[in-house]
Chains A and B, each alone.
Chain A
C-alpha cells in the first residue's frame, strides 16, 4: 500500500518536474532546432521538426569567419583563467596554510573589489586602453578578465585549500620530507581537484563576460559575445543563421557547465553555500 502511494507520488513529481524543466530549457532547445532549419522555414511559425539542413552553419562560417571569434573566446577565457591561477595559487596557499590576523581582512577586501560596478571605471579603463594601444587587443582583454576574476579565483582556491588537513603536512615533515617533496607528493595531489574546479568555473565566467568584451573590442580581438551582440542591429531576417551562431557560441560552455554544477554553487557564493 505504502509502496503504491509512493510510486504514484514519484510519477506525479516526475511529470511536473519534466514539464517545468522543459519550459525553462525551451528557448535553448528551440534555438538548436531553428539552427537546423532553412531561413524560410525559420519564420513560418511554430514548428519543432526542422528539415535538418546544415546550410545555416555553413553560411555563418562563410559570411563571418565564425572561427576567428571562437578562437578569440578560447584564447581570452583560457588565457585569463590560467594567468589568474598563476597569480592566485601562491596567495590562496599562504592564506590557507599560514594565516595571519590580517588574512580575513585581505580576503574581505578582495571580495569588495568584485562589487565595484564595472561601469564606474568604464571611462578611465577605456582611456587607458586607448592610450596604451590595448583596445581591440587580445592581450589587453585577457589581462582585463584576469583582474575581474582574480578575487573569485583566490576565494575558491582558498576554500579548497583550507580543507586540506594541516596534520598531513606535519606528518610528512616528521617523516623527514623536504619542502619540495612535501609540495610534490603530498600537497599537489590533494590540491589538484580544487584547482581543476576553479579552472572550469572561471573559464565559464570569462567566456560569458559581456560588458568589457563588447566595449573594448571591435574586430580583431572580438570574442563570441561581441560577435553575437553585433547581430542586434536589424539587417533583415536571418534567424536560422542567428540560431546556428548562437548554438555554436553556447554549446562548449553548456557542456562544461553541466560538469561543474557542484563547483558552481561554491564558487559563486564565495564558499558561503557548499
Chain B
C-alpha cells in the first residue's frame, strides 16, 4: 500500500518536472507553480525495507561486509528484523560491522518529521559505537550521530532527534551504524533493529543545541590563526523525560562573531583571526541559541619559532613545517585516567603549532618504527609559554628508548630525563631547547614525554620544530 503511494508520488514528481521543463521553454514560472518535492515516506525498515529501492546497503569498506541480514524469526512484535552480526575483533574479514542505508534514487523529504526512531535489542548488553542518519557517502552534510548507544537484551525504543528538520528536504542517507567490540573485550554479538522510521513526535521537546560541548571557552590566539569550532552537540528531552544528546554535522549550525574585525567565522565553523582584540563566536540551530561559546582573545601578531636552518639530511623531524615529518602515532595519546592534558592545536599563517591545554603530562609517540638515533646527537624543540611563566616551573622532558624489542614496555625501555625551570623561558617568546642525547642505547627512540612536576601552575604551552639532528 505504501509502496503504491510512493510510486504515485514519483510519477507526480516526474510529471511536474516535465511540466516545469515545458513551461521553461515558453515563459517564466507562474506564481502558482509549486516546487517539486520528494517522497515524504518516513519508514525505512518495518519488518521489511520500505521504498528504499534495490541498491541501498553500503557497508563501510573496512567493516565486515556481510554482517547484515534480514532475520526472519526475530522481530519487534513481528518475526522480521534488521540483523547485524558484529564480528569478533579477530575476524579476518573485518573486525566491526557498519553500514549506511541510502535511498536508491531520489531522496526523501523528511522535513515533516522530528525524530528517527527504532526498536533495538542485542544478544548481550552492549554500548553501540554509533547510530544515526544523514551519512550518504557523498557530503554527509546532514549527518547526525548518537554515540555509545546502550542497547540491552530486550526490545526497547530509541530516539535520534533531527536537529533542524527544515534542512532535510532531499535526504538519501536515512540510517547508519557502526558497531565494534571494544566494549565487549573483542567478543562478537548480535544486534537487531526493527521499526526503523522517521516520526513526528510531540513528546520530543526542549531542544538545546551546543558548541564547545555547551561550555563557554576562551582561547588565546593570534593574527593569522585559523581554528575550527568543535564540540557540536544537540540535546533534547525524550518522551521518557530523559535527555538524549546527538552529534550533529556543522551544517545544522549558523555561526556569528561579536566582533568580525577581530575574528570571523564561516558557515563551516572555521574561525579566522584578523586583528588583536576579543571576539565571541556563538551559534544558533534552527533559530535556537546554542549553549556555549568560543571567545577568541587575540594577542595580535604571532612571532613564529626561529626557522630551522639545519640540512634536512641531518634531521629526523617529528613535528615541523620546515622538514618532512616521519610517521607519528600520536601527539596527544590520552592516557587515562590520570592525564588531563587536552589539545588546542592551531595553524598560524600556514604554520602548524601544537598547543597543550589543561596540562599535567602528555606524550608524542612515534614507535612504528621507532627512531634510530644512534648517529644523532641532539633533540631540538621550540616551546612557547603564553601569559606568565610560573616561578616554580619544573618541566620534565623524558626521551624514551623502547629497547631491543622495539616496542613500548616489555621491561627493556630506558629513558633520559631533562629538567627545565623558569629561567629557561621568557613569557610569550619562543624558547629553543637543545637536548644532547646521553642515552647509551638510542636505536629505538619512540616516545617523548612532557611532564609538569612539583605542581607548578603551567597549564598551557605551544610546541614546534621537534626534531633529532646530527651536530
Question: A and B, one complex?
Answer: no
Residues of B within 8 A of A (CB): none
Residues of A within 8 A of B (CB): none
